[in-house]
């Protein structure tokens, strides 16, 4: 297990439909392209490492 914290990323950071952030239930939800791209890249690297022989 690995925990990554993306600076400035909020809930729903990978949801392009939330480019204009809003407050929902007391939390900020907002798309952050850099965090979304980095998270995808990190997951792909993890899966390659885990499943490539």
Strand partners, 23: 28
> What is the percentage of the chain residues whose pLDDT exceeds 70?
98
Its pTM stands at 0.76
% of the chain surpassing 90 pLDDT: 51
Rama region for 7: left / alpha / beta (φ>0; ψ in -120 to 50; rest): beta
Give the pLDDT band (50/70/90) at residue 37.
very high
Q: Tokens at residue 10, please?
A: 């909020």
- Domains in the chain: boundaries: 1-53
């Amino acid at each position: 297990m690995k925990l990554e914290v993306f600076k400035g990323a909020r809930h729903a950071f990978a949801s392009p439909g939330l480019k204009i952030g809003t407050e929902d239930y007391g939390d900020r939800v907002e798309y952050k392209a850099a965090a979304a791209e980095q998270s995808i890249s990190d997951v792909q690297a993890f899966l390659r490492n885990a499943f490539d022989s």
